[in-house]
Structure 1
C-alpha cells in the first residue's frame, strides 16, 4: 500500500496492509463484502467476524446468501498495518499520513488492486487477472460499526464507483470538538432517583475539590480512592496501602473521575447490564433501606448520598474488572486521529442540570492531553471540517443503511441524533431506490429500542466467556439477538432491491 496516495510528500514508500479473506461461499460474479475493523488490531475479530465463532456475523451471513467473498480489513497505523512503528517516538512527519483521506483511499486502492493478486484468483486460475473481483465487475459492499461506519458512509459519497452499498452501524458522522453529549444517552437511561443522586454527588465532589479547604480535599480524594480499591462485602484490604499522602498526591481530575467508573461498560452493555446493579445498591444503601423516588440526597442529605455512592462503587468493584488485552498501538493511533481531526472531547457540562460527568473533564484538559502526547504536528484544535465536508448530520448518501441503539452515546453524533443542535432527522425503513438518496429530512435506517453501541454486526448463539460478560468486554459485543436479525433482514431486503441495478463490465 502506498504510504502517500496523493503525492503531497517526497515519499514513494509502501507498507504491508493486512487483511483476511473467507471465500467459503464465493462464486464467480458474487459481491465482495468488506468488514472494516477500524481503530484497533483486527486479528482478535477474525474468529467472530470471518469464522463465526460462537455465533453469526453479518458479513458471513451476507456472503452466504449472495455467494460473495468476505474480507476483514485492517486500518493503516493499527495492528500490523503500520507504515512506521507506532510508539512515543513516532514523528509528526510520520503521523501526518494517518488522516481521513489517506485511510479512505486505502480502501479504494485495495479494491482496485485486490483482483490482480494471486490469492484472489486461486479459485479459478483461468480468470483474467483484473476481472473477477474488480469493483467495476462485481459490487463491493462495506460493513462497519462506529468509526468504520463513518468510513463506509464517506466512501459511498466519495467513491460510489468503488463502494456500491454500505451498512453503517452506530456511525458518529458529525465530528465535533465538544462532545459533552456523550453521557447524555446514559443520563436519559437512568432511573429518576439514581439520576438525582448521581448529579448531586458529582456536584458535591466537584465543589469540594475546587474549594479552598485542603483538609476536605484530601478527605474526599482518600474516600474516593478507598472506594475504588475496596471490594464487595465491605472488604477494604485492597486499600490497606492507601495513605493520606498518596491521596493528597492524586490529581483532582483522576480522583473526581472515579465517579465515572460505573460508566466504563455502558457504551456496549447499556443501563440494565452495567448501571442497574450499581443504581440498585446505591438507592437501597446496600440493600438496607427502601429506595425513594426523589433520591437519597433529597430525602436524607448529600452526606448520606455520598456514603451510599462510595459503598456502591466498592460493592460493584469496577476497579478489579480484568481489562481487555492492551493495544498501545491502537490507543496512540486513535488519539492522533481524534486530536487532529475528529475531536469528540467527552467533557463534563456543568451547565447541564442532569450532568453526571465531573466538570474537571473540560475541553482544555482534553486539548492539553493531546498536546502532551503529540507536542508537534497537531493543529491548535481538531480540524473537524476535514471530516464534516462529507455532510455530517446533513449527509444524504444513497445505498446506505444507518442503524443505531436508542441509548448509544455515539448516537448523539449520528444521523439519529436527538440533541438540540442536531437536525432531528427521522429514520425510515422504506427502502430507497437504488442510487437515490432518501427524500427530505429522513434517512434509511433503524433505531433499536433500549440498545447501545454496535448491537447488530454479530450475534452470540453459544455462551462465550470472552464476549458475553461486561467484565471481559469484547469489541462489538452483542447484548441481544433481535438487533442482529432486524438489521441483517432490512439490509438484505435493501440489497435485493439494489443489486439488480449494479452495472458491471
Structure 2
C-alpha cells in the first residue's frame, strides 16, 4: 500500500507498489482467438505483456471510448477443468516477476490453475487517457477498476472456454481490498478471494498507523520508539530556530538549504524523515528480494540497533544516521525536503512526469475514495509535526478537492462496500501483526465463510511472497491454511 504525499516519490515507488499485478495463466490451450489483444504471447512466456480492450467509463452506456489494458498470463500449471487465478493490480506498475514466483503460483501448481494478472487502470502502462489531468482522473476509481475486472473476466472466460471454471481473485494491500470487493459486488463472476493485508475500512484520519509503528518498534526493543520520539522532539525544537537550518541541512544531507516558510514545509520534512521508520516497519522481513527490491535487508532490528547505539551520539544524531543509511541503500545522493518540489511534481499531469509512476494517481484516490492519512494526531506514537490537515490540504493543492469533499467521499466508500461489516462468502483475510495496515482490516473471523488469518510477527503481505527457510512457523501455517481453504471452497 502506498504511503502519502511526495514521500512515495523519494523511493521511486520500489517499496510501495509491489502488488499491482498478479494474473492467471493457462498452458496448453490451442485454437484460441484473442479478439481483444493487440499482440500474442508465445506459450510458456509468462513475462510478455498482452493487451485487453476496456471501456473508459463502464457506468455510462453513451460513452463508447475505449483503451488498452495490460495483462500477463502464466499457463504453465493449467490443467483442463482447473480453476482460474486472477491477480489484481494496484497502485503501481504490474510486475511480471509475480508471474514466475510467489505463494499464489505454489497454489496454482497444486491445483492446476491458470494464472492471470491484470494491471490497474491509470498505473504502469495502462493509460486510459492522454494525460493525468484532474478531469481525466475522474475515471480512476475502485468502482471502475472492479468493472474492468468484471469485463476482463467475462470476455476471457468466453474466449478461452473457461465459462464453467471457478475463478479466484488474489490481491495484497489495496488490491487485497479489490479482491474482497470483487467477490462482494460480482459474486456470479468470482468464486472466492484471498484478500491479503486489505484495508476495508476507509477513514480520513488514520493515526492508528503510527500507533502500530510504535508497537512494532517496541516489539524489537522497548526503548526504540522512545528514542525515536526523543529524536523527533529534538528536531521539532531545532526547527523553531532558523539558525539551526544549516546544521539540519548538513545532518540529513538535504539537496538544498532547508527553508521553512510555512507549517507544511516543516510537516513535509518531518514526515519524510518519519517515513524511514514507517516504510521499514510496513515491509519488515518480507522477502521481496526476488523482485530485486533494494533495502530488503533493512529491518526493524537494524533501525533499532542504530537508535540504541550511544556511540553514534544523541538520539537526534542517530535519527540522522538512519536517514543517511536509507539514502545510501537507495543510492540517493541527497534528500529532497522541499514541499514546493513535491507540489511541482504532483501537479504535473504528463505521463512522463515525476509522479506519473503512481504518486499523482494514488493520492488522487485517497482524496476521492479512501483517506488513509497517516497523521501524528495521536499521543501513542513516536513522531510529531504532520497532522491531518497537512495531508488533507494537499487534496486541494493537487486536485482542488476540499476537506469536506474528502470526508464525503470516504463516507460513500464505506457505505458502498460495507467497511468492517462486509457481508459475502468465501473470502479469506490474511493480515500481519507488524503491518500498520492491519488496523483497517479484518483480523477476527466474521463468519466461518469469511475467516481471518492473523499472523503474529509478520508485516505487509508477507504470506504472498515465496516461502523461505527463515519464515516464522506461523507464516508457514498461514500459507497452508489459505491453501486448505481454497481446496475446500473449490469443491463447493
Q: TM-score range by the shorter chain?
A: 0.7 to 0.9
Aligned pair in 2 of structure 1 residues 372, 185: CA closer, same or farther (>3 Å)? same
Pairing partner for 1:486 from 461, 477, 480: 477
Pairing partner for 1:28 from 74, 80, 84: 80
Per the TM alignment, residue 266 of structure 1 is displaced from its structure 2 partner at its CA by 2.2
Aligned pair in 2 of structure 1 residues 323, 412: CA closer, same or farther (>3 Å)? farther
Q: Is the 8 A contact 1:180 1:348 kept in 2?
A: yes
Q: Would you say 1:267 and 2:271 are equivalent positions?
A: no
Per the TM alignment, residue 140 of structure 1 is displaced from its structure 2 partner at its CA by 0.6
Unmatched runs of 5 consecutive residues or more in structure 2 = 1-53, 287-296, 333-353
Q: Is the 8 A contact 1:22 1:69 kept in 2?
A: yes
Per the TM alignment, residue 7 of structure 1 is displaced from its structure 2 partner at its CA by 1.6
What secondary structure does 1:20 align onto? strand
Q: Would you say 1:64 and 2:120 are equivalent positions?
A: no
Q: Which residue matches 2:162?
A: 133
Aligned pair in 2 of structure 1 residues 143, 482: CA closer, same or farther (>3 Å)? farther
Q: Would you say 1:319 and 2:327 are equivalent positions?
A: yes
Q: Which residue matches 1:432?
A: none
Deviations 1:3-25 (A, max 9, x none): 111227x4211111111111122
Deviations 1:164-215 (A, max 9, x none): 1011110011010001111111100222222222223323433553x5xxxx
Deviations 1:357-409 (A, max 9, x none): 222x1221112212211136997215113321322122233101110111101
Distance 2:118 2:242 in 1: 49
What secondary structure does 1:17 align onto? strand
Q: Which residue matches 2:183?
A: 156
Q: Would you say 1:41 and 2:41 are equivalent positions?
A: no
Unmatched runs of 5 consecutive residues or more in structure 1 = 121-131, 230-238, 289-303, 417-425, 429-436, 463-478
**Mapping 1:116-265, distance limit 5 Å:** 116-117=158-159, 120=160, 132-134=161-163, 137-190=164-217, 191-209=221-239, 211=240, 216-219=241-244, 221-229=245-253, 246-247=258-259, 251-257=265-271, 259-263=273-277, 264-265=279-280
Q: Would you say 1:4 and 2:57 are equivalent positions?
A: yes
What secondary structure does 2:204 align onto? strand
Taking structure 1 as the reference length, the TM-score comes to: 0.72
Deviations 1:199-242 (A, max 9, x none): 23323433553x5xxxx2441x333332222xxxxxxxxx7x97
Q: Is the 8 A contact 2:393 2:403 kept in 1?
A: no
Q: Is the 8 A contact 1:36 1:72 kept in 2?
A: yes
Per the TM alignment, residue 327 of structure 1 is displaced from its structure 2 partner at its CA by 6.5
Distance 2:482 2:401 in 1: 44
Q: Which residue matches 2:357?
A: 329
Of stretches 362-371 and 332-341 in structure 1, the one that deviates more from structure 2 is 362-371
Q: Would you say 1:346 and 2:374 are equivalent positions?
A: yes
Pairing partner for 2:434 from 407, 410, 433: 407
How many residues end up aligned between the 2 structures?
401
Per the TM alignment, residue 107 of structure 1 is displaced from its structure 2 partner at its CA by 0.9
**Mapping 1:414-453, distance limit 5 Å:** 414-416=441-443, 426-427=444-445, 437-438=447-448, 443-453=450-460
Q: Is the 8 A contact 1:403 1:447 kept in 2?
A: yes
Aligned pair in 2 of structure 1 residues 305, 65: CA closer, same or farther (>3 Å)? closer
Q: Which residue matches 1:283?
A: 308
Q: Is the 8 A contact 2:393 2:402 kept in 1?
A: no
Q: Is the 8 A contact 2:55 2:64 kept in 1?
A: yes
Distance 1:58 1:98 in 2: 29
